[in-house]
Amino acid sequence: MANHTAHISAITASQRLDSRGKPTIQVTVTTGAGPSTALVPSGASVGDYEAHELRDGNASNYSGNSVHQAVQNVERVIAPELIKQRFNVGEDMAKIDRFMIQLDGSRNKSRLGANAILGVSMACARAGAALKGVPLYEFLRKEAGITRPYLLPVPFFNVLNGGKHSGNTMAFQEFMIAPIGAESVTHAVQLGSEVYQALKSVITEKHGASAIGVGDEGGFAPPITEPSEALDLLTAAVKRAGHEGKIKFAIDPASSEFYSEGKYDLGFKSKTPCRLSASALADLYRSLTDKYPIILLEDPFAEDDWAAWSAFNQDCPIELVGDDLLATNIERIETAKEKDACNSLLLKINQIGTITESMEAAKKAFSYGWRVFVSHRSGETTDDFIADLTVSLSTGHLKSGSPCRGERVVKYNRLMDIEDRLNVFGEPHEYAGRELSL
């Protein structure tokens, strides 16, 4: 293949919509292998340490959420400079990402916008895979230098919503089911879907048909307040679906959202405050993990409450995941290691803004003996990139919402496609359920 086909000939960008109907950026990179397109996700509960998502702020255009400036930054700033470099998209992914970081020059990608940079980074990775004639997960896996047999992830389905993702009075943002007892990804999706449908009927019987509307990530948001109410609903749904013993639970309280002045207000969405100290909240978590089959806790404390994290991690028997705490940021990950604050990284590509940096964050976490949990955002798109990324890094788990709503399901469908392909080609692989249950 002639080398010129590996160079970028054009980069275009446009404003499109995410799953909340808010603008996001779409980027198409063209090489000799044709066009490769990416759509960028966006979060609702955005941590203070995330890379900067550039929005126009013009109140008369999508209430200030339009991304025309980010689109222009791709087409007028990034594109001409990147094309001029004549990078080989099949070999130079890290160089392309580094070049854009230097071109931006700010600490948090605020000049060009992390959404602009990430769109180009994702599209270039896709272009590299197309050029090499391999699936995206295989291209990313080689970039990451991973050689072990494929590990297919346990899907963590966010089936009950609270916090900023719903209109009920539940403070905790997500309650997830994880089919670790499944035999494959395809079987896991089946189990998750069956429990989700059973949960729908359990909620309808208890709270009426009006209680089965879904939140941003496809989870139900019934009129519940106490975490134990949510976990009891999950327990009943698992039993009704006939999958007892195969399903574990996970919680993402997203506690930075209800933290102020050293206290955690579990009543922040109601008229009745319920302000707990970090140690009282820790006791609540321990009582829940003692009573229910919970294997993972994400952001149980606020993003700067290091003391609470470190204290809880001293004798934490489950996966303790830093999201807002770490923001997929190497410096924050290093600080968390020094303070022994958690044992797992939540990886969100738009928190850091390039695919190379996302992979470096994962490698850093793995070097500490931590786990890595790949995540969608609440404002998602129909781009299935993170499914391939999860497989490429062998992280063993992915959360992408409920088995409901197209932008969520597309990731789970992609995982099943990958599993089918590995089976057809006889590639050694295993499902991560056993590994996560250890």
**What residue segments make up the domains of the chain, in order of their start?**
10-133, 150-436
252 carries a ligand binding annotation? yes
Residue type, 119: G
- Of 20-24, 213-217, 431-435, which range is least confident? 213-217
- The residue from 50, 138, 194, 217 that is catalytic is 217
Neighbours of 276 (CB within 10 A): 16
**Among 142-156, 163-177, 327-341, 417-431, where is mean pLDDT lowest?**
163-177
Phi and psi torsions of 282, nearest 5°: -60, -40
Cα–Cα nearest to 43, from 26, 19, 61: 19
The tens digit of pLDDT for each residue in 348-397 reads: 999 999 999 999 999 999 999 999 999 999 999 999 999 999 999 999 99
Q: Which helix (H) or strand (E) holds 310?
A: helix 306-313
Contacts of 231 (CB under 8 A, 6+ apart): 175, 249, 288, 291, 292, 294
Domains 10-133 and 150-436 agree in fold: no
Q: Which two tokens stand for residue 413?
A: 């469908």
To 5 degrees, how large is the angle CA 217–CA 373–CA 99? 100
- Which tens digit of pLDDT belongs to each residue from 217-244? 999 999 999 999 999 999 999 999 999 9
Residue 174, annotated as binding a ligand: yes
- Mean pLDDT of the residues in the chain: 96
48 to 145, 220, 269, 355: CA distances (angstroms): 31, 28, 21, 20
**pTM beyond 0.85, yes or no:** yes
Does the annotation place 378 within a ligand binding site?
yes
Tell me which of 164, 246, 269, 348 is the catalytic residue.
Answer: 348
392 is in an annotated binding site: no
2 — pLDDT class (breaks 50, 70, 90) = very low
Query: Which of the four CATH numbers 3.20.20.120, 3.10.129.10, 3.40.50.970, 3.30.590.10 does domain 150-436 have?
Result: 3.20.20.120
Across the beta sheet with 259-260, what order do the strands follow?
A: 259-260, 263-265, 275-276
Question: What's the pLDDT tens digit per position in 254-284?
Answer: 999 999 999 999 999 988 999 999 999 999 9
For β-strands 259-260 and 174-178, DSSP reports them as unpaired
Q: Check residue 165 and give its pLDDT.
A: 75
Q: Which residue has the tokens 């405050």?
A: 273
> Tokens 């990775």 appear where?
125
Number of neighbours of residue 58 by Cβ within 10 angstroms: 13
* Catalytic annotation present for 138: no
CB 388 within 8 A of CB 152: no
Per residue in 421-432, pLDDT (tens digit) is 999 999 999 999
| 399 annotated to a ligand binding site | yes
pLDDT band at residue 87, thresholds of 50, 70 and 90?
very high
Query: Going along 99-163, which residue ranges are E strands?
Result: 150-152, 154-161
DSSP 363-423: HHHHHTT-EEEEE--SB--S--HHHHHHHHHT-SEEE---S-SHHHHHHHHHHHHHHHHHH
Which tokens is 5 given? 């086909």
Query: Does 75 belong to an annotated binding site?
Result: no
DSSP one-letter string for 251-294 = EE--GGGGEETTEEETTTTSSS--EE-HHHHHHHHHHHHHHS-E
DSSP conformation letters of 74-87: IIIIIHHHHHHHT-
Residues 10-133, CATH architecture: 2-Layer Sandwich (3.30)
> Has 217 been annotated as catalytic?
yes
